[in-house]
Amino acid sequence: MIRLVLSAAAALAATSAPAAPPAPKLVVAIAVDQFSNELYQRYRPTFTGGLKRLSDGIVFTGYQSHAATETCPGHSTILTGRHPAGTGIVANTWFDAKTGSSIYCVSVRGTADASARGPQNLRVPTYGDWLKGAQPGARVFSVSGKDRAAIMLGGHKADGVYWWNDGAGFGSSSYAGPSTPAVLAPAQAFDKALFARWKASPPELWPAPSATCAALAKPHMFGKLALSGNVPPDMAKEVESGDFMARTDFQDFLHATPLYDALTLQFADDILDREHLGHGPATDLLAVSLSATDYVGHRYGNGGAEMCVQMAALDRALGAFFQKLDGLGVPYVVVLTADHGSTDAAEREAETGVAAKRLDSGAFVGALNKAVEAQLGLAFEPIVGDDPQQLSINVGPDDALRAKVRDAAIAWLKTRPEVKQVYTADQIAAAAPPPGKPVDQLSVAERFNESYDPERSGDIQVEYAERTTFGMPRGPGDTVAGHGSPWDHDRRVPILFWWQGAPSEQPAAPAETVDIAPTLAAITHVPTTQVDGKCLTVVAGTCG
């Protein structure tokens, strides 16, 4: 009887054990910029292409668990396994008190080349770096519409890192990776052929909306900007007229169209063919960040026909890309996630009964500076607030004045109805979450802590009301909606794993984007350096 019980238990364990993926020859990591879990779940029932395939695999409710929910910090977590507090990438741009200047997250200091871009500000290695150290012959390539996205995913030792340069096409920088003719010439050939096609026949920036998407078209006044809600958007129609490639605004409006992702995936296809990824002596990594959802969300919000069309186009483009991967004839693993979420334009959210508001952040920080100047008798603006959630004090080395400015600013902020809470740098530094605390239970201060770096973060962290839209749009192209807050609509993102034969599962426990790198490392038997995340057993099967 005991033997029968043990046999039954062993059989049950065998049937319930996670189905680990076969040893892949290729790992594909995809980030969809501004792809919130809310957006994913809203459109999930409509997917029939690549996003449908991924949705049939292992689907986690994921978190960018930190507060600085922007592109650069979010991308820095995906393949490092570290929170921004560890990666050092605390914002897209941060204020450097030593030099009194703002630093772009992928700018390269100490060079006269203003266009120099690279991972020098990233303080930790990536999965691609681990892979190349563990498997001789492994190759790592990264591509995106944005330089910061491609660089954060590519890491320090990539074989090729590419991003879109307006007017020139896909290119790179010698500071981001090799810039030899072998790396740059194929991109230049791709770009030349692309622009030749466009000159011969203007590209379709926006496909025609389905009846479902067209039903969402509705005019709105966002801030001081009126938008028709039509697809193609009125602004896109203007730049498509006449000699569109000669217009200085064509490239700008290209970003906020479904075509932008299609171009990125076409170039990724080109890399697969050119480099024969998946057919080398080791595991290869291709990282792809798709930027159009972010640009569409900023320019039009995520609740209208524009985002509906973008979601359908992204689904189709990913479907074609996965067919390309299938044709390689090698085992591969895909993970898709996002660098952050988003909220829709406050005006449209308010129509649904959501307590959403718009904050003219420029005017708000201006009023703060005037109040502090008047109180302390200053003749200059002492607060740098490009991001109203991270305020930096710019008074030079005078610590006594710095303290006075901090205290005056905090006192003023606490009187404002838009502000829920204000934290000093010391308070955030002391708010480290206890080990093992579930990500969905972190306090707001703990979320700020996970993206706090004492050398790079602001002196004052400000918590605004949930669903606050920052900025006041006034003209075409201005931001109408965004992200960047510590709230779950900006933190929650999908994390989707798929491979041929992957089980269809939706684990109840949430995952974090910092779990992705150690999970990929376990799948490919690559040792890791220090990580904040954990290996996901339901994906990797065995973690150790």
Q: How many other C-beta atoms are found inside a 10 Å radius of the C-beta of residue 102?
A: 15
pTM of the model as a whole: 0.95
Give CA–CA dist 199/319, Å, rounded.
Answer: 27
Say whether pLDDT at 9 is over 50. no
Beta carbons of 358 and 469 less than 8 angstroms apart: yes
Output the pLDDT for position 2.
Answer: 37
Q: Which helix (H) or strand (E) is 387 found in, with range?
A: strand 383-387
Give CA–CA dist 320/533, Å, rounded.
Answer: 32
Which residue type does 454 have? P
For each of the domains in the chain, give its residue range(s) and CATH number, in order of start.
26-351+487-540 (3.40.720.10), 357-466 (3.30.1360.150)
How, if at all, do strands 468-470 and 357-359 pair?
A: parallel
Q: Which residues contact 497 (CB under 8 A, 6 or more apart)?
A: 57, 58, 60, 333, 334, 335, 519, 536, 539
Residues in the chain: 544
Radius of gyration of the chain (CA): 24
Beta carbons of 21 and 502 less than 8 angstroms apart: yes
Q: How many other C-beta atoms are found inside a 10 Å radius of the C-beta of residue 499?
A: 21
Helices (H), 139-180: 147-154
Report which of residues 135 and 244 the model is more confident about: 135
Q: How confident is the model at residue 237 (pLDDT cuts 50, 70, 90)?
A: low
Q: What are phi and psi of 161, to 5 degrees?
A: -130, 120
Cα-based distances in Å from 465 to 252, 359, 414, 452, 531: 31, 10, 13, 20, 32
Q: How confident is the model at residue 1 (pLDDT cuts 50, 70, 90)?
A: very low
pLDDT average, residue stretch 469-498? 96
Give tens-digit pLDDT for 248-296: 678 778 999 999 999 999 999 999 999 999 999 999 999 999 999 999 9
Q: Which residues contact 356 (CB under 8 A, 6 or more apart)?
A: 343, 344, 346, 349, 350, 467, 468, 469
- Residues with a catalytic annotation lie at 71
Tokens representing residue 448 in the block: 């700020």
Say whether pLDDT at 8 is over 50. no
Output the pLDDT for position 376.
Answer: 98
The full DSSP string for 289-354 is EE-HHHHHHHHH-SSSHHHHHHHHHHHHHHHHHHHHHHTT-S-EEEEEE-S------HHHHHHTT-
Output the pLDDT for position 544.
Answer: 78
Q: How confident is the model at residue 6 (pLDDT cuts 50, 70, 90)?
A: very low
Output the pLDDT for position 57.
Answer: 98
Q: Mean of the per-residue pLDDT values for the chain? A: 93
pLDDT average, residue stretch 14-35? 82
Give CA–CA dist 453/290, Å, rounded.
Answer: 27
Give tens-digit pLDDT for 124-146: 999 999 999 999 999 999 999 99
Query: What is residue 20's DSSP assignment?
Result: P
Tokens representing residue 18 in the block: 């996670």
Percent of the chain clearing pLDDT 70 (strictly above): 94
Q: Which residues contact 271 (CB under 8 A, 6 or more apart)?
A: 141, 143, 160, 162, 277, 286
Which residue type does 48 have? T
Beta carbons of 409 and 460 less than 8 angstroms apart: yes
Please calculate the CA angle 203-209-212 and round it to the nearest 5 degrees. 165
Q: How confident is the model at residue 218 (pLDDT cuts 50, 70, 90)?
A: very high
* 112-116, 222-226, 361-365: least confidently modelled range: 112-116
Q: What are phi and psi of 497, to 5 degrees?
A: -115, 140
Give tens-digit pLDDT for 352-378: 999 999 999 999 999 999 999 999 999
Beta carbons of 98 and 466 less than 8 angstroms apart: no
Percent of the chain clearing pLDDT 90 (strictly above): 88
Say whether pLDDT at 242 is over 90. no
Say whether pLDDT at 161 is over 50. yes
Give CA–CA dist 49/51, Å, rounded.
Answer: 6
Output the pLDDT for position 528.
Answer: 96
Which three-class secondary structure state does DSSP give residue 153? Answer: helix
Give CA–CA dist 522/176, Å, rounded.
Answer: 27
Give tens-digit pLDDT for 182-203: 999 999 999 999 999 998 888 8
Give CA–CA dist 244/246, Å, rounded.
Answer: 5
Across 46-71, b (16+ Cβ under 10 Å) vs e yields ebebbbebbbebbbbbbbbbbbbbbb
Give CA–CA dist 60/373, Å, rounded.
Answer: 48
Give tens-digit pLDDT for 440-481: 999 999 999 999 999 999 999 999 999 999 999 999 889 999
